A and B are shown apart, each in its own frame.
Chain A
Amino acid sequence: MTSDAAIRARFQVIWPGFSLDIDLDLPGRGVTALFGHSGSGKTTLLRCLAGLERQSIGLLNFKGEVWQDNARGICRPTYRRPLGYVFQEASLFPHLSVRKNLDYGRKRVNGGHKVSLDHAVELLDIGRLLDRMPDRLSGGERQRVAIARALATSPELLLMDEPLAALDMKRRNEILPYLERLHDELEIPVFYVSHAPDEIARLADHVVLLAEGRVVAAGGLREILARLDLPTAFAEDAGVVIEAVVADHDETYHLTRLDFPGGSVAVARRPEAIGRRLRFRVHARDVSLALARAEGTSILNLLPATVVEVADADTPAHVLVRLDAGGTPLIARITRRSHAHLGVTPDKAMWAQIKAVALLA
Chain B
Amino acid sequence: MPSDANFAAIWLTLRLATIATAILLIVGTPIAWWLARTHSKWKGIVGAVVALPLVLPPTVLGFYLLIVLGPHGPVGQLTQSLGWGVLPFTFAGLVVASVLYSMPFVVQPLQQAFEAIGVRPLEVAATLRASPWDAFFSIVLPLAKPGFITASILGFAHTVGEFGVVLMIGGNIPEKTRVVSVQIYDHVEALEYAEAHVLAGGMLLFSFLVLLALYSRKGTSAWK
Contact = CB atoms under 8 A, between A and B. Distances in A.
- Is the A/B pair a real complex? yes
Interface of A: 50-52, 77-80, 83-85, 87, 91, 93-95, 104-105, 108-109, 149-150, 153
Nearest to B139: A93
16 contacts: A52-B127, A77-B131, A78-B126, A79-B127, A79-B128, A79-B129, A79-B130, A79-B134, A87-B123, A93-B121, A95-B223, A104-B125, A104-B138, A105-B128, A108-B134, A150-B128
A50 B139 contact: no
Given A78-B123, A85-B124, 10 more contacts: A78-B126, A79-B125, A79-B127, A79-B130, A79-B134, A91-B124, A93-B121, A95-B143, A108-B134, A150-B127
B218 interface: no
B126 A52 contact: yes
A99 to B, nearest CB: 14
A80 to B, nearest CB: 8
B202 interface: no
Given A91-B124, A95-B223, A153 B143 contact: no
B142 A87 contact: no
A91 B126 contact: no
A105 B129 contact: yes
A52 B132 CA distance: 13
A109 B223 contact: no
Nearest to A105: B128
Contacts, number: 58
A109 B128 CA distance: 8
Contacts of A109: 129
Given A91-B120, A93-B121, A94-B223, A104 B128 contact: yes
Interface residues of B, number: 18
A50 B142 contact: no
Most buried by B among A83, A105, A150: A105
Chain B CB within 10 Å, residue with most, of A85, A95, A105, A149: A95
A259 B188 CA distance: 100
Contacts of B142: 95
A92 to B, nearest CB: 8
A108 B128 contact: yes
Which of B120, B129, B138, B143 has the largest number of chain A CB atoms within 10 A? Answer: B129
A108 B129 contact: yes
A206 B142 CA distance: 41
Given A93-B139, A94-B223, A95-B223, A50 B124 contact: no
A79 B129 CA distance: 4
A141 to B, nearest CB: 17
Nearest to A102: B128
A84 B127 contact: yes
B123 A52 contact: yes
Most chain-A Cβ atoms within 10 A of its Cβ — which of B124, B128, B130?
B128
B109 to A, nearest CB: 18
A177 B110 CA distance: 43
Contact of B130 (A51, A87, A94, A108): A108
Contact of A83 (B124, B127, B138): B127
B39 to A, nearest CB: 11
Contacts of B128: 79, 104-105, 108, 149-150, 153
Contacts of B134: 79, 108
A110 to B, nearest CB: 9
Nearest to B135: A79
A79 B131 contact: yes
Please name the 9 residue pairs, one residue from A and one from B, whose CB atoms are nearest each other, closest first.
A105-B128, A85-B127, A78-B126, A108-B129, A95-B223, A91-B124, A79-B126, A95-B142, A79-B129
